[in-house]
Amino acid sequence: MEKPIYASLKSIGAYAPENIVTNYDLEKIVDTSDEWIVKRTGIKERRFAEANEATSDLATKAAKIALKRAKITPKEVDMVIVATISPDFFCMPSTACIVANKLGIVGKPAFDISAACSGFVYLLSLANAFILSKMYKNILIIGAEKISSILDMQDRNTCVLFGDGAGAALIGVTSERRKSIVDVQVSSNGEYQDFLITPGCGSRYPASQEVLEQRLQFLKMKGNETFKVAVKTLSSDVVEILEKNHLSIDDIDFFVPHQANQRIISAVGDALNIDSQKVVLTVQKYGNTSAASIPMAINEFYEEGRIKKGSKLLLDAFGGGLTWGSAILTFNGE
């Protein structure tokens, strides 16, 4: 009898640039304060990549760690997918192709997706589907961002929120259901596309002197509107995926939300009555790293020895698009 095929999170890896930017550093650039930032976001510091570091550089470093921990060589990787809203190049080549080249992965499919802060959950959905279809056995997924490259450092409402970093995971095959990705669900609603948007330099507003003067090449956000929709959506999404899989929050070892804002995370945790000890929180250290935030958070708790082989994780993300998604899976790394 043929063994069943399931997808499994085999390893995790992350990389954060060395350059730490504190709230006090930002006080010197824009009209803000450490007290204001911490009270509204919980963020105390974030990392900004150096001028000569691109998103692919961050992604490659995270990927190497994930591959080493999975005991997988680059030649054994069947596919590379990168989630990012800050790619090395606007149109082409994809950041995934660049990363694959840096890793020595040749002749395998590599492509990017754009789902903003929900990017890693979208990657899990894709990898899970490819493995369940038996097309591939080892898929390298990476959420990577150099958000500092699209931040308007004159806009105090956005420049204090984001940071740079990358998180990678190797999704492989298992025949044991208890070690697998239990479920992934992803959604979107373009009606709220202007809540989080980078307006300029696309086909809607092509690069021009006027676009640059209006600073449309930078990320824009409607903070209050985003906050309200995020809390409601994230909470309902968690309830839905748990009920769908006949699980309760007590069955979950760690809740790993997108690290956007500590107030959002706390509000969702309170709405779902989650034990605070189960909530993975790294926003205070790295800020919002968009598609990289969930794998970076998993990696942080893994390196601290808290997330271990067999830990059941509940992921929940919300981002520009608007996009959102959740996943239930068992961490199967060593």
Q: Which of 117, 159, 261, 299 is catalytic?
A: 117
238, 127: one domain: no
- The 8-class DSSP code of residue 4 comes to P
pLDDT of residue 224: 81
The overall pTM is greater than 0.85: yes
Place of tokens 């754009």: 114
- Report yes or no on 1 lying in a domain: no
240, 186: one domain: yes
CB 84 within 8 A of CB 143: yes
What's the longest Cα–Cα distance across the chain?
67
pLDDT of residue 13: 98
pLDDT of residue 148: 96
189 is catalytic: no
Closest CA to 12 of 220, 322, 306, 317: 306
162, 235: one domain: no
135, 206: one domain: no
- Report yes or no on 218 lying in a domain: yes
pLDDT of residue 200: 86
Reported residue count of the chain is 334
Q: Which of 128, 261, 288, 299 is catalytic?
A: 288
246 is catalytic: no
276, 190: one domain: yes
Q: Which of 23, 97, 128, 258 is catalytic?
A: 258
Parts of the chain with a pLDDT under 70: 1
SS3 (DSSP) at 328? strand
**Both tokens assigned to 158:** 């956005």
114, 253: one domain: no
> Which distant-in-sequence residues (6+ apart) come within 8 Å of 55 by Cβ?
84, 86, 87, 88, 95, 144, 145, 146, 149, 166
CATH of the domain at 185: 3.40.47.10
pLDDT of residue 64: 98
pLDDT of residue 104: 97
Which one of 135, 156, 177 terminates a domain?
Answer: 177
288 is catalytic: yes
Structural domain count of the chain: 2
- Domain extent, residue 84, equals 6-177
CB 331 within 8 A of CB 305: no
Rounded-to-integer distance, Cα 113 and Cα 197, Å:
16
27, 158: one domain: yes
- Report yes or no on 25 lying in a domain: yes
DSSP string over 101-142 = HHHT--SS-EEEE--GGGHHHHHHHHHHHHHHTTS-S-EEEE
pLDDT of residue 327: 97
**Both tokens assigned to 113:** 């997706």
